Amino acid sequence: MKITYYGHAALGIKVGGKHIIVDPFISANPLAEHIDIEDLKADYILLTHAHGDHVLDVEAIAKRTNAVIVSNAEIAGYYAAKGFQSHPMNHGGSWNFDFGKVKYVNAIHSSSFPDGSNGGNPGGFVIEGEHKNIYIAGDTALTMDMKLIPMRTKLDLAIFPIGDNFTMDIEDAILASDFVECDKILGYHYDTFGYIKIDHKEAIQRFFDKGKDLMLLEIGDSIEL
């Protein structure tokens, strides 16, 4: 499983021979100006919620790639009404795709499209590949529901928002890593706006002091599990 960071909460995942894009907010992010969305491959687009800083580039990518949009029922229906392929899910439900199993799990946040349409309830994704399992928390507060995840799935990586103000902060993300029983963390949803700028060295050190590994990738860089 190869995971690429495209800035903010946007990720690329290559697993099972398929390409997945998560929450594509790229073209309007000045920190990601070197990333061309026209170069991105996508068989699926996974969306945690409907905010503009998570769905901006969905239509452009889906129109070019014919990717299947996977999200909650309201978001999937929104794009299906526009003629895009979609797969609706809801909290607690899972589906076996051709790249692995995906479960839509709880997140505490808000969700509406930039045009005011209903974005349903926000969520996160647990992805079980053939060899590795990851948890993408989406935009969320710390929630006790995270403790349910390791009861079903042993994680190899947890991806947490760490920018504070709109989501968890560093300390809550450390607690979240305890809840999901995973000490290998990829941080996201930080630095993009003034509200969510962080001190990288301090964040990494605070995780390290708890015996955990926080990775903060440069935009465009990848890790392999």
Question: What is the per-residue pLDDT across 36-74, written as a single tens digit (0 to 9) for each?
Answer: 999 999 999 999 999 999 999 999 999 999 999 999 999
All structural domains of the chain, each given as residue ranges with its CATH number in brackets, are 2-224 (3.60.15.10)
Q: Tens digits of per-residue pLDDT, 136-180?
A: 999 999 999 999 999 999 999 999 999 999 999 999 999 999 999
Q: Tens digits of per-residue pLDDT, 89-124?
A: 999 999 999 999 999 999 999 999 999 999 999 999
Two tokens, residue 109: 């946040």
pLDDT given at position 188: 98
Q: Cα(185)–Cα(213) distance, rounded to whole angstroms?
A: 6
pLDDT given at position 202: 98
Contact indicator for 189, 109 with CB cutoff of 8 Å? no
Q: Tens digits of per-residue pLDDT, 17-40?
A: 999 999 999 999 999 999 999 999
pLDDT given at position 217: 98
Residue type, 7: G
Contact indicator for 11, 222 with CB cutoff of 8 Å? no
- Model confidence at 85, pLDDT cuts 50, 70, 90, reads very high
pLDDT given at position 169: 98
Q: pTM of the predicted model, to two decimals?
A: 0.98
